[in-house]
Structures are given as C-alpha cells and as structure tokens.
Amino acid sequence: MQKIILFAILLICANASTQVPTGDLLIRNGTVLTITKGVLEETDILVEDGKIKRIGKNLKAPSNVREIDATGQFVMPGIVDAHSHIAIDAVNEATHPVTSEVKVGDSVDPFDLSIYRALAGGVTTIHAMHGSANAIGGQCQTLKLRYGLMDPSSFIFEGAARTIKFALGENPMRVHGEGRGVQPRTRMGVERVIRDAFQKGKDYKAKWAKYEEQKKKNPNAVPPLYNERYQTMADILDGKIIIQCHSYRADEILMLMRVLDDFGVHRITFQHVNEGFKVAPELAAFGAMASVFSDWWAYKFEVYYSTAYNATILTRNGVITSINSDSGELIRHLFHEAAKTQRYGDLTDEEALALITINPARQLGIDNRVGSIEVGKDADLAIYKNHPLSIYTIPQLTIVDGIVRFDLANDPADMRIYVDPEESTPTYFGQEQVEGCLIDTDFMFSHQH
Amino acid sequence: MNKHIYILFFLLTCGFSIRAQQVEKSTYGTFALTNATIETVTQGRLENATLIIEDGIIKAVGEDVAIPADAQVIDCNKMTIYPGMIDSGTKVGLKEIGSLSLTQDYNEIGEITSDMDALTAVNPNSVLIPVTRVSGVTTVITGPSGGLFPGSAALIHLHGYTPEQMYGGFKSMVINFPSSGKRGRWDRRSEEEIKKDGEKAIKKLNDIWERVATYASIDSATQGQADYNPELAALVPVYRGEMTAFIEANKSSDILAALAWIKENKVKAVLTGVAEGWRVADSIAAADIPVITGPVLGMPSRDTDHYDQAYKNAGLLQKAGVKVALRTDDAENARNLPFNAGFAAAYGMGQEEALKAVTIVPAEIFGIADEVGSIEPGKKANLFVSTGDPFEPSTAIEYLFINGWNVPIESRQTLLYEEFLHRDPGVSTESKPGKS
C-alpha cells in the first residue's frame, strides 16, 4: 500500500515537473517591433496562458491580470541565441572525433547564473551547443531561459528541432590530430572522418531496413546491435536532425556541402562561418543557413581573413543569417551585436533585428513558436528603454511564457539560486575565453598557453 | 607612328591609374572642412562651421574662417567633426593572431622585464591598424602585459610606416600590482594559494623598489655611471617621478593597497583596470589618482554583483570625482572603443562625459592635451567626420585625419566587403557544391 502511495506521489511529481508555468499579462502602449509584421506604435499586447492572445489598441484584460505600462518603450520578441554554451555542465566530449551519441540536454544546469544575465539582455531562448572539439560532436539542446525553476527538464524547449554539432578546421584538428595523434590532423582528414561516419550511418540504416524486411517472414530474425552513434547518423540522413556546423574557412564550408549533397542531406546551419561571405552564393543555392559573430576575428589564423560585413553580405545574397554570442558576456548584449550590422553594412532595423529573433528561430526549427510578435506565438518578449538598436538602449523587462523573468526595477545584485554555504565568492578578472567552443578541452593543451 | 606612341602612352597611364586606385594612399596638404557641425569637446559645439587643416595642424576653427586658396574643400554638410578617439589600453600593433604566440609581442619571459619597450615591437603594417582607425580611433596606448613589470607602454597614432612616425610622445611603465583575485574562471588556484602568491608578489615588488632606490642613488652619485642593470635602470625614471606608472589593479582591496603603495613611494601613477573601482571610488578620488578602466562591455567581477556592474563602473567613478579614461583592453576589436564609451554613457556616465573619457581626459592624463583630445587651433589634426554620434552603431565614419593625413576609410574588412557583396562570378551550375 505504502508503495502504491509513493508511486502515486512520484507520478504526480513527474507530471508536475513537465508542466511549465505560464502567465497572463497586458503590456500597454508600447512601440511593438513585431519583426514579421512591421512596427506598431502605441500598441497593446494581451498575453494569456503564456501565449500572445491579442495585439491591438485599448485591449481589455481580466482585472486580476498584471498590466505593464510600456509607454515610450520598445517591445520586441525575446532574443534567440543560436549558439551558446551556458546553462549546461558539460560542453565537449572530446574523446573521439565522432560522438553523435552524446547529448548536452543531459547536462542542463538550472543554477547557472549566466541564464539570468542572458535574460537581463532580453534573451529568452538559447541553443545550448556541444563544443567544437570533434568533427561530429554531440547533440545540442534548445532551451527556454526559465530561470528560477529547479528541474533541468523544465528548461527544455518542447517541440524544437533536433540539432547536432559538427566542427571543421582547427579545433578538431588540434584536439584529435595534434592533441591525441588520431585523425583528423588536416582538413582532408576532417572530410574523411565525416564521410566515414555518414557511410557507417547509411550501412547501419540498411542493416536495420534489412532486418525489418526479414522480420516480416521470420519472427526469429536477429536484429542488428543497437548503436546510438550510428542511429543518430541515420537520423541525420533521414532529415530528422538539423546539422549545426562550426566552420570558418570557405574551402571547408564548400567541402561539407559536397559531402552532404553526396549523402542527400540538406538541413544545415553553418555556425561562426567567418568566411561564409566568400561563398555566400553557394550557401544560398544549397539552402544552407548561417549563424555568425558580429565582429569577432583574428583570435586564430582561420579567422584572420574575416570581415565584420559578413552578416550583411550573407543577408544580401539571400542566406538566412543570425548573429550569435558563443559567450556568457556577449549574450547580454546581442541587440547591440545586431546593431553593428548598420555600421558594417546597411541592414534596415527590421533586417538587423531579424538576425537575433526570427532568423535564429528558423535555424532551430522554432519559428512557429518564437522569433516574432504574432498572435498565437509564445509570449516571449523583451522590453527596452530606447530603440534596441541604439547604443543608449537599456533592457527593462524580459518575459518568458508570459512570466516576467527579468525586471530591471527589481534586480537584486545577488541572483544566485543555489548557494553553497561552504563556498566563498571569488572575484574574477581578465577577459573571458574568446571561443566558448573549446571549453573542457584545455587540459589537453597544458603544454601550450 | 606618333599615333601609336600616343595610344601606348594612353594605355600605360590607364594601367597606372587603375593601379593607383587599387591601393588608396593617404594624402597630405591643406584641407578645408566646411558646413560642419563641430564637437570641439572643450569649447562646446559649433554649427555650420569650417575647420582648416594645414601642415598637419588644425589651423582654424569657426563660423567665419577664410578658406586658403590652395585648400582642398570637403563639404561636411549634415556631418559632425569629432576629435580622434583615444583608446587608453590596447595591444594594437603588438598582437596579430590570438592563437599564434609567434605573432604576439607583448609578453616577454620573466617577472621583471621593465626594460621592454612596446614601441620596439609595434608593427606599423599590422592588418589590425586600419581596422581600428576607420572607427574613429586615431590613437591608442599599446603595451605589454604579464609578470610584475612587463615593460613600458607607448602612445601611438594609427598612421605611419615606422614606430617613430606613429609615436605620440608618451610612454609609461606598466606595473601589475599583485592581485588577490582570480585571473579568470580557468584560474584553479585555491584561495590559500592566491593569498600566498599575492604576498610573495608584494614582497618582490617592495624588494625591487628598494633595489631601484639604491640603484638611483648610485646613479646620482656616479653621474649615470652605475653598473649595467637594464631592469633597474628602466625603473629609475618612475622612482624619480619623471615617468608615469600604469598600475594595474582590479579587486577593491588590491586597489586600496595600490593607492597606499603609490602614496608611500610617491610614484606618479595612473590606476588601470580598476574593475571594482566603484566599490572604493571615494578613496580613489581622495587620492587624486586618475583611472583608465575597461572594457566596459565586461562581466561583473563577482557572482554576487549586478549583471551590468561593469557597464556602470566608469560612470560611478566619474561621478565620485575620479578622472576617468576608457580602454578596450583589446587588439583586433579596439574598434569597439566607441561602443564601450556608449555603454558607459547609457549606464550613468552620460554622452558628454563618455566622449571626454575617450578624448580630452586621456590626453590630459598623458600630458599631451596641448596636442590632441579636442578640436582647437594649434592641435594636431587628429579627427574624424561622421554622420552623427560615433557611439551609435548606425553612424558612419566618412573622413579620417591622423597627424594631418587624410586617411582613406579603408581596411581589409571594407575591401572584402566591396569584393564579395556581389561576387563575380557568382554561383554557376558547374561550380555548385556536390556537382564537382
């Protein structure tokens, strides 16, 4: 009997934990930057149960619903960061050049303070990525920044597309070729490793198909040994996973498109892609998307021939482009990173803001849910004093599923949730590691600096 | 025959002129910038004014200024002239590629390498230099780091073919004041180890200073004939108060310790870094020590601090009465100085003071306010013309003058833009990936 009660309690808890809290709100009289449907002056947004219910003037809400006065302020969709390594405990499974079997979604850390700091910059969704140590890294996880919840699973963006990290060039070459003495040590080797994994995935898929055929005639047919690594490759071949490929140089970008074409794979976003501008017509023709830095360059040789005009060139050549952070510092001001495309190029306000909203949402397969302010979409919103592309903008409020998760008017200095009483609070100085992608691999290079 | 020579001559000149266009050079001479709004920084804002550049100097500024007959006139209608911005802490010219140590010249081996001179290693042809200056940053401090005494930093203007042509007449000795904070999240030393390292470093600093004192007195007694000791010799001008020391300190307790050390040793000092300056702003103001802080776009130093504390630091210091200049502490992205200043402005400093923090204030700190830092007759023609507030990303920089040279708004990054915006040939079915 006791066992049954315990089981019932556990069942209720499990159910409760998958229930993500949602809220009701009425945001009054803001300048609404919808991204997809223009700019609406002095407009209200009614939020019900975490969704945008109505957009218009003089909307009415039930009396118990919180009203937010956004007069003179700018309301935009919550920012989507297509490349981040915050909110996870582990980044690189740097033990093999192919680790498609691991999932960063298994290491979500609800207590990472970076989540709150990202919210404070208007970010509501992130793509938490495996690192770039491996040619084929682990599967990534799209998360909603519901800071304050304790259950890792409550951060999962339900319904987001499955994604996987690939990496070309120096990082896999350094980690495996230089660091471990195994392929790849060159960009030729990177291609070989990737082709090899796809071929094995294809063979694996064929084996299972053959087994399914045999099973129809012979109920005692022996199934092939299950292999998560090659099952994942098979899922990529079946178009069930969007590749998110860390890349820099034009040649390696072309290489991967050739490989994918040979295997009939077409869902890909190139990440960083500093030399994407050189092959923008090819990217557009392939239907590949691009997620870039606003201005990072020169931190290694493969980004020496970069230009901050990358996002503009890609956009003007018809490539769906986003700007990402890859950094716990930069994620706090992605609106400013998007604004830089107006110095390095001539993108309109709408095009610039699309780089951090609807475009990354498309790249993660969540544009039906977030990335613009439209009726029926999730109430993930960010409110700013001054236009978010102005240097003088200041984030005021960030809302996830209709719940206020950051409020400048109520922003205590210490926002940690889990505080270890034994722990002192150290002070940190100096610059952040430039490339978040190589986190967890520094032990391999202790002989270098 | 004659006709053929003419055709040949025509073809040759065509070729030359095309070549000349490929490498756009800076030009020198007399310039009249007319119809401009001028943000002088020190003398207010002028509307519909003219600025004359002659012999590398700002000759005249005002509403009724005669335009010399030989002047090249640049119509600055709807544009604003600003003094060139100064980044008070970078590695521009000393660092080319982040992951390749052989392209980096800012961190010599040894704890005490005070005789290292940044100017020795400044590469005037660094690709980073044009990338930086087209943002309106005409001048930077570039300097060494690492160890206790990494060497001296130098002020350079971002135009010229030799370090001497670039040198702006100011050097300072860099001192990394012993730190009791972590150097980054990767710093895995325990609190105990950090404390020990700090105490050891303080002892070392004081030991060196005693030796410098001895060396200086021998040097005086022997009329400059003291035994060869380049590290100590380099520190003598600092000991005697003839050379400014940049003392890097970030944690509040380290800042206070540095202030005490400065006072005790009567060093002519500027505090650099100063990330937690806001915690001890009144003490810094009372000591009357100027500050170079940044990057503004940085993380708070403690998990228990506001997410935007680094944005606010400069403004809080300035409001407490501290003389504040800004730095990016960067190399390839020192071009973000105006955006760092913009964030400082938005988070409490205000636009006017933030502009001063990247122009006249550093000029004053470095003792070169008679040469740069504002738009005034007699000063060096270090300035830029923009479509508006240079802190706003949407503003474009249209003209740039450094030491009177009209420098093209061109860098490898703009050239790549021009080449690849509409690439030719574009994509063709033959070259389509997958069809190879």
CA separation for the pair A78, A47 (Å, rounded) = 14
Q: Phi first, then psi: what are they for B281, rounded to 5°?
A: -55, -40
How does strand A403-407 pair with strand A123-128? unpaired
CB A120 within 8 A of CB A398: yes
Where is average pLDDT lowest: A392-396, B53-57, B187-191, B231-235?
Answer: B187-191
Q: What is the pLDDT of residue B194?
A: 86
Same domain, A92 and A149: yes
Of the candidates B329, B414, B120, the residue with the CA atom closest to the CA atom of residue A434: B329
Mean of per-residue pLDDT scores for chain B:
93
Instruction: Check which CATH number belongs to the domain holding A28 and give it.
Output: 2.30.40.10
Task: Note whether residue A188 is domain-resident.
Answer: yes
Confidence of residue A421 (pLDDT cuts 50, 70, 90): confident
Q: For an interface test with B, which of A170, A391, A408 has the most B Cβ atoms less than 10 Å from its Cβ?
A: A391
Where is average pLDDT lowest: A409-423, B64-78, B144-158, B278-292?
Answer: A409-423
Confidence of residue A419 (pLDDT cuts 50, 70, 90): confident
Helix, coil or strand: residue A380: coil
Q: What is the pLDDT of residue B78?
A: 98
Residue A14 reports pLDDT greater than 60: no
Same domain, A46 and A101: no
Confidence of residue A435 (pLDDT cuts 50, 70, 90): low
Q: What is the pLDDT of residue B21?
A: 52
What is the average pLDDT across B68-83? 98
CA diameter of chain A = 72
Q: What is the pLDDT of residue A449?
A: 32
H-assigned helices in B2-111: 2-22
What is the average pLDDT across A172-193? 97
**Which strands, in side-by-side order, build the sheet including A321-323?**
A79-84, A123-128, A136-144, A162-167, A241-247, A268-272, A289-292, A321-323
Domains of chain B: 27-83+373-423 (2.30.40.10), 85-179+241-369 (3.20.20.140)
Helix, coil or strand: residue A379: coil
CB A314 within 8 A of CB A282: no
Whether B311 and chain A come into contact, CB under 8 Å, resolves to no
Confidence of residue B20 (pLDDT cuts 50, 70, 90): very low
Residue with tokens 């909110």: A87
Q: Which tokens hold the place of A326?
A: 């890859």
CB contact under 8 A, B304 and A413: yes
Same domain, A175 and A38: no
CB contact under 8 A, A262 and B434: yes
Helix, coil or strand: residue A139: strand
Task: Note whether residue A255 is domain-resident.
Answer: yes
Beta strands (DSSP E) in B57-200 are 57-62, 72-75, 80-83, 85-90, 137-142, 151-157, 167-176
Same domain, A169 and A307: yes
Same domain, A340 and A391: no
Contacts of A225 (CB under 8 A, 6+ apart): none
Whether B79 and chain A come into contact, CB under 8 Å, resolves to no
CB B270 within 8 A of CB B313: no
Residue A265 reports pLDDT greater than 60: yes
Task: Note whether residue A442 is domain-resident.
Answer: no
What is the average pLDDT across B286-304? 96
Give the orientation angle of helix B191-221 with respect to helix B252-265, to 10 degrees: 20
Question: Cα–chain-centroid distance for residue A111?
Answer: 18
Task: Note whether residue A4 is domain-resident.
Answer: no
Return the percentage of chain B with pLDDT > 70, whole number: 93
Q: Residue A394 sits in which domain range?
A: 20-78+371-413
Instruction: Check which CATH number belongs to the domain holding A264 and give it.
Output: 3.20.20.140
Q: Which tokens hold the place of B83?
A: 């003094």
Same domain, A272 and A386: no
Please report residues of A whose CB lies closer than 8 A to that of B305: 413
Q: What is the pLDDT of residue B3?
A: 55
- Domain's final residue, options A369, A399, A431: A369
Same domain, A195 and A243: yes
Q: What is the pLDDT of residue B435?
A: 45
CA separation for the pair B407, B277 (Å, rounded) = 37
CB contact under 8 A, A339 and B393: yes
On the CB side of A123, CA atoms within 13 Å amount to 41
CB B46 within 8 A of CB B63: yes
Q: What is the pLDDT of residue A287?
A: 98
Q: What is the pLDDT of residue B17?
A: 47
| Model pLDDT for residues A98-149, shown as the tens digit of each residue | 999 999 999 999 999 999 999 999 999 999 999 999 999 999 999 999 999 9
| Model pLDDT for residues A205-255, shown as the tens digit of each residue | 999 999 999 999 999 999 999 999 999 999 999 999 999 999 999 999 999
Of the candidates A314, A333, A369, the residue with the CA atom closest to the CA atom of residue A142: A369
Whether B416 and chain A come into contact, CB under 8 Å, resolves to yes
Task: Note whether residue A418 is domain-resident.
Answer: no
Helix, coil or strand: residue A244: strand
Same domain, A191 and A324: yes
Where is average pLDDT lowest: A105-109, A315-319, B62-66, B189-193?
Answer: B189-193
Task: Note whether residue A270 is domain-resident.
Answer: yes
Cα–Cα distance list, B51 to A331, B44, B136 (Å): 42, 15, 17
What is the average pLDDT across A46-60? 98
Instruction: Please state, as a whole number, how many other Cβ atoms lie within 10 Å of the Cβ of residue A107.
Output: 16
Q: For an interface test with B, which of A429, A434, A437 has the most B Cβ atoms less than 10 Å from its Cβ?
A: A429
Q: Give the CA dihedral B92, B96, B99, B102, nearest 10 degrees.
A: -110
Where is average pLDDT lowest: A46-55, A418-427, B80-89, B378-387?
Answer: A418-427
What is the average pLDDT across A366-392? 98
CB contact under 8 A, A295 and B336: yes
CB B279 within 8 A of CB B252: yes
Residue A329 reports pLDDT greater than 70: yes
| Model pLDDT for residues B255-274, shown as the tens digit of each residue | 999 999 999 999 999 999 99
Q: What is the pLDDT of residue A436?
A: 67
What is the average pLDDT across A164-171? 98
What is the average pLDDT across A59-77? 97
Beta strands (DSSP E) in A70-218 are 73-77, 79-84, 123-128, 136-144, 162-167
Q: What is the pLDDT of residue A439?
A: 73
Cis previous bond, A184, omega within 30: yes
Q: State the total domains in chain A.
A: 2
Q: What is the pLDDT of residue A444?
A: 61
Residue B293 reports pLDDT greater than 70: yes
On the CB side of B237, CA atoms within 13 Å amount to 14
| Side chain identity, residue B203 | K
Same domain, A70 and A99: no
Where is average pLDDT lowest: A2-16, A221-235, B365-379?
Answer: A2-16
Confidence of residue B310 (pLDDT cuts 50, 70, 90): very high
Residue A2 reports pLDDT greater than 90: no
Q: What is the pLDDT of residue A412?
A: 96
Same domain, A207 and A59: no
Confidence of residue A448 (pLDDT cuts 50, 70, 90): very low
Residue B8 reports pLDDT greater than 70: no
CA distance A51 to chain B (A): 28
More confident residue, A132 or A6: A132
Same domain, A293 and A403: no
Confidence of residue B190 (pLDDT cuts 50, 70, 90): confident
Which of B304, B333, B339 is opposite residue A414, by nearest beta carbon? B304
Helix, coil or strand: residue B380: strand
Confidence of residue B92 (pLDDT cuts 50, 70, 90): very high
Same domain, A99 and A221: yes
How does strand B167-176 pair with strand B151-157? antiparallel
